Amino acid sequence: MSAIKCVGILTSGGDAPGMNAAVRAVTRAAIYNGLKVKAIYRGYKGLITDEIEEFKTQNVSNIIGRGGTILKTARCKEFMTPEGRMQAYETIKKHDIDALVCIGGDGSLTGARIFASEFNFPIVGLPGTIDNDLFGTDSTIGYDTALNTIMDAVDKIRDTATSHERLFFIEVMGRDAGFLALNGAIATGCEAAIIPEIATETDQLGELISQGFRKSKNSSIVLVAESPITGGAIAMAERVKNEYPQYDVRVTILGHIQRGGSPSAFDRILASRMGAAAIDALLDDQRNVMIGVENDQIVYVPFNKAIKNDKPINRELLNTLRILSI
Ligand code: F6P
Taking the complete model, does pTM exceed 0.95, yes or no? yes
Are 202 and 90 contained in the same domain?
A: no
Q: What's the domain count of the chain? A: 2
Q: Are 111 and 79 in contact (CB under 8 A)?
A: yes
**What residues contact 324, with CB distance under 8 A and at least 6 apart?**
186, 189
167-172, strands of its sheet edge to edge: 192-194, 220-225, 167-172, 249-253
The dihedral built from the CA positions of residue 79, 82, 87 and 93, taken in this order, carries a sign that is positive
Pocket of ligand 1 (CB under 6 A): 14, 105, 129-131, 173-175, 226, 259
Ligand 1 atom with least separation from CA of 180 = 6
CATH number at residue 88: 3.40.50.450
CA atoms within a 13 Å half-sphere pointing along the CA-CB vector of 207: 6
Same domain flag for 21 and 77:
yes
CA of 16 to the centre of ligand 1 (A): 10
Q: Does the active-site annotation cover 152?
A: no
- CB of 200 closer than 8 Å to CB of 192: yes
Do residues 201 and 276 share a domain?
Answer: no
- Same domain assignment for residues 155 and 169: yes
Core vs surface per residue 39-63: b (16+ CB within 10 A) or e: bbbbbbbbbbeebbeebeeeebeeb
Q: Give, for 243, the enclosing helix (H) or strand (E).
A: helix 232-243
pLDDT in tens, the chain (326 residues): 679 999 999 999 999 999 999 999 999 999 999 999 999 999 999 999 999 999 999 999 999 999 999 999 999 999 999 999 999 999 999 999 999 999 999 999 999 999 999 999 999 999 999 999 999 999 999 999 999 999 999 999 999 999 999 999 999 999 989 999 999 999 999 999 999 999 888 788 888 788 877 777 788 999 999 999 888 999 999 999 998 898 999 999 999 999 999 999 999 999 999 999 999 999 999 999 999 999 999 999 999 999 977 899 999 999 999 999 88
- Atom from ligand 1 closest to the CA of residue 258: 4
The residue whose CA has the least distance to atom 11 of ligand 1 is 14
Tell me the residue range of the domain where 234 lies: 143-259
- Choosing from 15, 131, 144, 267, the catalytic residue is 131
The preferred substitution site among 12, 130, 311 for testing ligand 1, maximizing ligand atoms within 8 Å of CB, is: 130
